[in-house]
Structure 1
Amino acid sequence: MNPFWQMPSALRETVQSLLQSLDRRDGPRQKDDEPDEDAIALLEDSEREAPPIQKQPLPPRVEKSTSRKNYIVVIGIAALFIGLIAIFHSRSASSQGTAATEQATFNDLKETRYNDYFHVLIPGTSDSSADFCKTIVSGAVLNYPTPWAIVYDTTNATRTAFSKIERVSAWMNRMPEQNDPDLVAVIGNARSSWFQVRPEVLIQRYLDIRRKEEHRLDDLFPSTTATRAQQYPKSRIVFSSEPVCALEDSSQCLEVPAPDGSVQFLSTDIAIGPLRDLRELWRQATSVANQTILANRVVHEHGVFTGLLRRQTAHRESIDHFPSVSAAGNLHFNERNEFGITLDFHRELSYAADDKLEGVSWLEPSDERFALLKLPPDIADSQPPFWSYNKSLELPLEKNWSHVSLLTDVRSNVIPAVIHRGPRAAFNLTTSWWAQMWFHPHARKLLDNFAATPMDPIALVTGEDGRSRRFWSPIRERVGLKTANGVFHEFDGICGGGEDWREIFLDDLGRWQDPSP
């Protein structure tokens, strides 16, 4: 466990209180600073008075003294001077036409900010359901950002997938360019998806998968096969994977060899990447889906993204066959074919149940019967499951991640961050698996805690250069969702109808009421 969580409670609370006060001063924005930038960014062009300006949070101040501020100014000027020298040398090298500058290295494409937003997109239909609300609750109790709900049309079965792709693309296109480095997770299977570990685990795993894939690509495509920036093989977007192709037409399936020698297929259960890269990918997907509609064929979401992955694969193979930069550029780069797609082969980000459920079980890592299975360090070091600002909620604070039930792949000792009921799985898993989620019977209290928690970073992770990166929720409001037009909908308004609360909270305590003022 992280040493912070092993501190005496009094000391830990003092440290947390200090960090909390610093973060509130240096967070992304405060209530009275500016109008709701999220809402402005999503208005139609005719409704905007001016383009939104996204203020980024600054690293927390350690000291407030004048000398400290002067010291920071001096350091900043020195850093700027060094940066100008670096730019000068870079441009000089470029003018010489060296291979190093012809190659669009991954470092050229990496984010340089260390405070960014993490957006969670949940595409869904216009009608809410208990299953949809379960997704919201599972994220809230773990301190995930309040999600964006992307509503799409399901009235025409032949155009449902097209509508889903197009609406997600529209949201991405409306977001301002200053948000390009923000991280976005698109949850494709919204009605049967649940988060089971902290957002920092999900984000760090995403970054680690990218890092490993980039090293592999560096070995496969050395500088002698360099191409222009947008076409250089890279790892930017991570899709979930599955062992069986989801497409009925097997000719559209694409087998992707995994590092362990198995064959995997792309799954749209989850896709994570920077907004900039996802926006371009979804633009391409919308174009492909539209062409399919014009050809009087049914659009399949898996088929669209598998087709784009196929184009990327063919493009990379062409680099092997035509190592010359000029030859490759003339023959194979007339259109965008490199999208930075990578698969989550080990299902660390997400796992979708199928009809067999082979190798997975609900386990408590501390159970002596499973001594050979170890709790992954990233989960063990994350914030404990029942940690709370409000000690009066009477939560089992003594429990850590070793003492709660987690869905585990016992063959690989992988505990996925997000779990789904796949299309081939028994429908009753939606009920039986939900009942086994670790936060029951404390979901209400954990939701109370989330509603009252101050706006702090949701995740602190190690970036690609070894420096810490902080991620924040882009939406201030808690417990609910925000639609693409920027309107926030409270949980009680979308999940309080009928007796859905019985299925969501598994108790007889009635509708959940937001305790925050």
Structure 2
Amino acid sequence: MATFGIPNGPWADRYHAAQSTMTTHFQHLYRFRPRARPTRAIFLTITAFFLVVVLLWRPSSQPTENYWLKYPSYRSSQDRPEALPIVHKGKPTFTRNDTLPGNLQKNNPSFHLIIPAKRKSSALCRMLTSAMILNYPPPTLINYGKKLSEGAKEYDHMKDRIASIYNFLDKTQHVHDNDLALILDGTDFFFQLPPDVLIQRFQNILKENNAKLAKKYGLVIVEKPSEQGAPETVQKYTQRVLFSASKECCPGLSRDAGCVAVPESSLPPDIYGWKTDSPSYRTLARPRWIKPGAVIGQVADLKAIYAEILRFIEQNRIPRGDSIALTYLFGRQEYVRELERRRASNPFMEWMYTMIGISEASNLTGLSPRLEAGRRYEHGIGVDYESRLFFNTWKSTRDVEWLRYRNITKTSFAQMLHNVPRERRLLLPDDLAPERVSNPFTQPIFGKNDPPLNPPINETLDALPHPGFYSWRKFPLLTNVHSASVPALICLDGNPSLRSTWWSMMWYHRWARALLRKYVRSPTGFEAAQSALLGGQEWWDLRGGRGGIWTEKGEWFDYSEVCVGYEKEVFHDGLGKWRQENGESDEPVYNQFGQLVKGKEGFSPS
């Protein structure tokens, strides 16, 4: 009987023979199969990895140039702007019963507000009013009343403006290199926050950004002559000057380093959602490029920048030459910085950071700007990406809301309504807390021996809310919802449709006349002297003066000489002309030490 599945007869022998042969063959294969060696595999993998690392780490056989030395990166001033003692943070140390020193001397840098403006206008008066209400130093108007010859073109006006700003910084006796200056290139600005907030934010931004720059670019040892001491370790590149930011680069320079090589914005890459930075949605671009118009920095640094801008426009008679020059300056600064960063960086780490998408490298593709060895391209220029100092309305009017921070419901949903990813409740900035900044409705204290009040108190004209009932939390403050910043200064960028609307929404507009009268009615006795002793705001400008403006020639003009006739646009309260509301005469203005500072009468530039 045959077994199931196995043939009988002669086929059975063949089957068993084949089975035996195959079994023997598989036994041989199994006997000689290489065994797995995990230790050897791991060793070979590690060896290969280190060979790749060594090859990538190995420096180039060709010598590399030290760009930090090739293009000098010295500073215009050895002072650190972030450490300047501009704002006094101490408390008064004297009382009215104490005797003040008779030889008061200013021992801290001054703060200058510089505005080029040739003629009076409603825009200029709104700007001056907002600056005075917030207690900024008396502005210096550049070229006020100046007229160029007939036939002067746009280029001539631009060159005259830049040259006049530079000459004021460079040749004015009371302006020193270590002073701080805020230059506003135009009159389309509204001040929103006090000057001490602006200055402290400027210094805080420099501290934050310089810490990042030290990590990114590193330090360098600077050799000194033997008589000057031992070598000094310094930071390669620092930030010393801040300009406003724009969502667009200067037109016509899309392939220049000023548009390509500059750093990315510090705002998150999805701050406007998935369309952020898309070329098709320019209003959803992150502010990244430099914007002329508003700049703050030390006088020494600003002089160097304006000297370069002036040199460029003298050599190139082109429209918007100042904007182009500034874009060139910023672009070449960042181009040289990136060359030096790449020279000093680790090739393997660069490759690894690029692979995982966290590289800080700037884009230099296709760029070859003409650079001259020995010429300075480092100016410490930075940009206020987050609008903590300056907010520019160009393509950005939809980024803001007017928020009262006591309204928790609105501040909680503001970012959600603007489609901000990872939205959160917006909070009043810490520097606007009651213990950090004074209440604008607090009235000054006058002594019995102080001169008569000018203008005298009027219950109707000087009516202000009680400071206990109003604070910064209750004011409507323009807020950049995306960056969660309340800017100190608003630039309308020539947008006429916003001038009247936004002016009426400024927190002080309702009480503008009363607040301005409070400003010009400043103490001239003990408080002024004590403030001077402490280096306070009254001594930010040694020339003194309240309720008016200076020119670069040293002329003083009272507010009424510049702004009478614009009361409707400024106050919109129907109370008549400034200083003539009750038939009052426009009396001369004295500074806090009793000196007559009012200029010539009857000056009326058109």
| Amino acid in structure 1 at the alignment position of 2:200 | Q
* Structure 2 contact 106–535 (Cα < 8 Å) conserved: no
- 2:287 maps to 1:282: no
Task: Render the CA deviation track for 1:124-176: whole Å, top value 9, x for unaligned.
Answer: 2x221011011110010010001010127674213332222111101111134
Q: 1:408 to 1:491 in 2, by over 3 A?
A: same
Structure 1 residues 322 and 342, CA, compared in 2 at 3 Å: closer, same or farther? same
Find the aligned partners of 2:202 and 2:491 in 1 and give their Cα distance. 18
Q: Deviations over 1:85-142 (max 9, x none)?
A: xxxxxxxxxxxxxxxxxxxxxxxxxxxxxx2211000112x22101101111001001
Amino acid at match of 1:289: I
Task: From 514, 521, 530, give the equivalent of 1:452.
Answer: 521
**Aligned length in residues:** 397
Superposed, 1:407-446 pairs within 5 Å as 407-423=478-494, 425=495, 427-446=496-515
1:258 correspondence with 2:324: no
* Separation in 2, partners of 1:160, 1:208: 36
The residue number in structure 1 matching 2:113 is 120
Contact 2:170 2:303 in 1 (8 A): yes
1:142 to 128, 134, 141: 134
Aligned: 1:243 with 2:247: yes
Instruction: Check 1:312–1:400 CA distance in 2 against 1; reply closer, same or farther (3 A cut).
Output: same
Deviation of residue 300 (structure 1)? 2.9
Taking the TM superposition and a 5 Å limit, the aligned residue runs for 1:310-325 are 310-323=331-344
Residue 465 of structure 2 corresponds to residue 473 of structure 1 = no
Counterparts of 1:302 and 1:246 in 2: how far apart (Å)?
7
Q: Is structure 2 residue 577 aligned with structure 1 residue 511?
A: yes
What is the deviation of 1:333?
A: 5.1
- Residue number among 156, 160, 170 corresponding to 1:159 in the alignment: 156
Q: State the 1:469 CA deviation.
A: 8.1
CA positional deviation for 1:356 = 5.5
- Corresponding position: 1:169 with 2:166: yes
* Counterpart residue identity of residue 265, structure 2: A
SS in 2 for 1:358: helix
1:374 paired residue among 413, 427, 441: 427
Q: Which residue of 1 aligns with 2:121?
A: 129
Contact 1:241/1:345, CA 8 A, preserved across alignment: yes
Matched AA of 1:209: I
Q: Give 1:191's aligned residue.
A: 187
Q: Give the CA deviation at 1:314.
A: 2.1
Aligned to 1:485: 553
**1:331-370 matches, cutoff 5 A:** 334-355=374-395, 357-369=397-409, 370=411
- Give how far 1:441 is off: 2.1
Distance 2:429 2:393 in 1: 21
Does residue 206 of the first structure (1) align with residue 219 of the second (2)?
no
- The AA in structure 2 aligned to 1:509 is L
Aligned to 1:233: 237
Please tell me whether the aligned partners of residues 134 and 193 of structure 2 are also in contact (alpha carbons under 8 angstroms). Answer: yes
1:272 counterpart = 2:309: no
Gaps of 5+ in 2: 1-90, 225-231, 270-285, 346-370, 413-424, 447-456, 580-585, 591-606
How does the TM-score come out when normalised to structure 2? 0.60
Partners in 2 of 1:193 and 1:306 — Cα distance? 22
Structure 2 residue matching 1:163: 3-state secondary structure? helix
User: Which position in structure 2 is the counterpart of 1:406?
Assistant: 477
One-letter code aligned to 1:220? K
Q: More displaced, 170-179 or 347-356?
A: 170-179
Shift of 1:489: 0.9
Kept after mapping to 2: 8 A contact 1:225/1:323 = no
Maintained 8 Å contact 2:241/2:296: yes
Q: Which amino acid letter does the alignment assign opposite residue 428 of structure 2?
A: L
Using the TM superposition, give the Cα deviation of residue 298 of structure 1 relative to its aligned residue in structure 2, in angstroms: 2.5
In the TM superposition, what is the alpha-carbon distance from 1:179 to its structure 2 partner? 1.5
Shift in Å, 1:299 = 3.8
Aligned counterparts of 1:178 and 1:489: Cα–Cα separation in 2? 20
Mapped partners of 2:439, 2:544: distance in 1: 23
Residue 221 of structure 1 deviates from its aligned partner by: 2.5
CA distance in 2, matches of 1:443, 1:263: 32
Q: C-alpha distance in 2, partners of 1:218/1:226? A: 15
Change (3 A) 1:178 1:131: closer
Call closer, same or farther: CA 1:419–1:452 in 2, change over 3 Å.
same
**In structure 1, C-alpha distance between the alignment counterparts of 2:325 and 2:96, rounded to whole Å:** 44
How big is the alpha-carbon RMSD for the aligned residues of Structure 1 and Structure 2? 3.3
Is this contact kept in 1: 2:387–2:483, CA < 8 A?
Answer: no
Change (3 A) 1:354 1:314: closer
Which residue does the alignment assign to 1:34? none
Identity of aligned residues (%): 26
Secondary structure at 2:237 match in 1: coil
Are the counterparts in 1 of residues 214 and 236 from structure 2 also a CA contact under 8 Å? no
Q: Is the 8 A contact 1:196 1:419 kept in 2?
A: yes
Give the aligned residue type for 1:512.
W
Distance 1:26 1:348 in 2: 39
Aligned-partner residue type, residue 577 of structure 2? R
What aligned pairs does 1:374-393 form with structure 2 within 5 A after superposition? 374-380=427-433, 381-389=436-444, 393=462
Closer/same/farther in 2, CA of residues 140 and 224 from structure 1, 3 Å limit? closer
CA contact (8 A) 1:225 1:319 kept: no
CA distance in structure 1 between the partners assigned to 2:96 and 2:444 by the alignment: 11
Residue type matched to 2:156 in 1?
R
Helix, strand or coil at the partner of 2:397: coil
Could you tell me which amino acid in structure 1 is paired with residue 386 of structure 2?
A: H
Distance of 1:183 and 1:144 partners within structure 2: 13
**Distance in 2 of aligned mates of 1:384 and 1:440:** 16
Change (3 A) 1:306 1:249: closer
Match for 1:56: what amino acid?
Answer: K
Larger Rg: 2
CA distance, structure 2, for counterparts of residue 28 and residue 236 of structure 1 = 34
Q: Structure 1 pair 490/28, CA: closer, same or farther in 2 (3 Å)?
A: farther
Deviates more, 1:137-146 or 1:410-419: 410-419
Q: 1:298 and 1:422, CA in 2 relative to 1: closer, same or farther beyond 3 A?
A: closer
8 Å CA contact 2:189–2:492 kept in 1: the answer is yes
**CA shift digits 1:11-46 (9 cap, x unpaired):** xxxx87956898x957996xxxxxxxxxxxxxxxxx
Change (3 A) 1:248 1:178: closer
Structure 1, unpaired ranges of 5+:
1-14, 30-54, 58-114, 325-330, 461-467
One-letter code of the match for 1:382?
V
Alpha-carbon spacing, 1:265–1:20, altered in 2? closer, same or farther (3 Å): farther
State the Cα distance separating 1:224 from its structure 2 match: 4.5
Q: Normalising by structure 1, report the TM-score.
A: 0.70
C-alpha distance in 2 between matches for 1:510 and 1:177: 37
- Kindly provide the amino acid, as one letter, of the partner of residue 378 in structure 1: D
In the alignment, structure 1 residue 501 sits paired with structure 2 residue 578: no
Residue in structure 1 matched with residue 37 of structure 2 by the alignment: none
1:50-65 equivalences in 2 (<5 Å):
56-57=106-107
SS in 1 for 2:329: helix
Quick one: distance in 2 between partners of 1:27 and 1:315?
52
